[in-house]
């Protein structure tokens, strides 16, 4: 049974993740129109036009709606949950497909290309698995695959949180960029995988702190 403390921590964690997700998503839409502050290294990518616009449009939409799907109040409104889910999955597939076009030509070199490439494949794969599970009415599998998918979507937030750390450690921007092409998502996936394993190990525990962060039940 989740304690009052663990439930409060889950609520706070969800609120923080939601604020960061919405902020990064809204700020990323500038790439859809190529207007505003654009990163030079990204615009130097040979495939930047038009693929950054396609990527940022799809990925930012997934990031914008994804965290709200974890609210029980949204999931209880079935049509809303389904429509947001379709929007989320479309965003992941469009954003992920465009990411696979962009990854090989990143100016950050082969290690970053591989990091973004593996992330793109896993992002599409986890989202397709979640969609198939929902379609087959295997809702517990659906929930678990969506948690994995969103952990990868959230990589857009962790990437931007980690980018300023490299220069503090004496790394230049490109070295930092290469490192975060992996570090932005591998720990996210490891953390949710450990959480899901622990959860399935606890017999009789059906309430999930990740998908029920703001439930009123204690
Ligand atoms: C999770 C899978 C993702 C993959 C595989 C991925 C991959 C990429 C790649 C390869 C680039 C080009 C980098 C370069 O040329 O050096 C890029 C840039 C970008 N991505 Fe993603 N991305 C993902 C998720 C997201 C999400 C969820 C967002 C939503 C906000 C996002 C927003 C952007 C933006 C705005 C850029 C332009 C660069 C910047 O300002 O940092 N990406 N991404």
Domains of the chain by residue range: 4-201
Contacts of 144 (CB under 8 A, 6+ apart): 196
Return the pLDDT at 216.
41
pTM above 0.85? Answer: yes
Distance in Å, CA 56 to ligand 1 centroid:
7
C-alpha to C-alpha distance for 178 and 176, rounded to whole angstroms = 5
Distance in Å, CA 156 to ligand 1 centroid:
7
Distance in Å, CA 28 to ligand 1 centroid:
9
- 147-160 pLDDT, tens digit per residue, is 999 999 999 999 99
User: At CB < 8 A and 24+ separation, what contacts does 36-40 make?
Assistant: none
C-alpha to C-alpha distance for 158 and 188, rounded to whole angstroms = 9
Burial of 135 (0-12, 13-18, 19+ CB in 10 A): exposed
Q: Residues with beta carbon inside 6 Å of ligand 1?
A: 24-25, 28, 31, 39, 41-42, 45, 52, 55-56, 59-60, 62-63, 95-96, 99, 102-103, 106-108, 116, 119-120, 123, 152-153, 155-156
Query: What Cα–Cα distance (Å) separates residue 146 from each residue in 67, 68, 91, 128, 196?
Result: 10, 12, 13, 9, 12
Residue with the nearest Cα to atom 33 of ligand 1?
A: 56
Distance of CA 53 to the CA centre of its chain: 18
Return the pLDDT at 208.
73
C-alpha to C-alpha distance for 194 and 191, rounded to whole angstroms = 5
- 12-28 pLDDT, tens digit per residue, is 999 999 999 999 999 99
Residue with the nearest Cα to atom 36 of ligand 1?
A: 56
């Amino acid at each position: 049974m989740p304690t009052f403390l663990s439930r409060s921590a889950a609520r706070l964690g969800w609120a923080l993740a939601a604020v960061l997700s919405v902020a990064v998503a809204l700020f990323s839409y500038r790439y859809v129109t190529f207007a505003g502050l654009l990163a030079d290294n990204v615009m130097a990518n040979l495939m930047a036009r038009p693929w950054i616009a396609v990527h940022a449009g799809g990925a930012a939409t997934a990031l914008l709606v994804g965290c709200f799907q974890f609210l029980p109040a949204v999931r209880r409104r079935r049509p809303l949950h389904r429509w947001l889910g379709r929007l989320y999955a479309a965003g992941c597939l469009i954003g992920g497909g465009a990411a696979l076009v962009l990854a090989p030509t990143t100016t950050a070199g082969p290690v970053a290309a591989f990091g973004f490439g593996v992330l793109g494949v896993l992002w599409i794969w986890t989202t397709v698995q979640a969609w198939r599970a929902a379609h087959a009415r295997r809702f517990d599998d659906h929930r678990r695959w969506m948690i994995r998918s969103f952990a990868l979507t959230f990589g857009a937030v962790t990437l931007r949180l980690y980018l300023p750390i490299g220069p503090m450690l004496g790394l230049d921007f490109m070295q930092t960029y290469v490192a975060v092409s992996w570090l932005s998502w591998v720990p996210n996936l490891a953390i949710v995988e450990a959480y899901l394993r622990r959860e399935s190990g606890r017999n009789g525990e059906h309430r999930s702190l990740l998908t029920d962060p703001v439930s009123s039940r204690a």
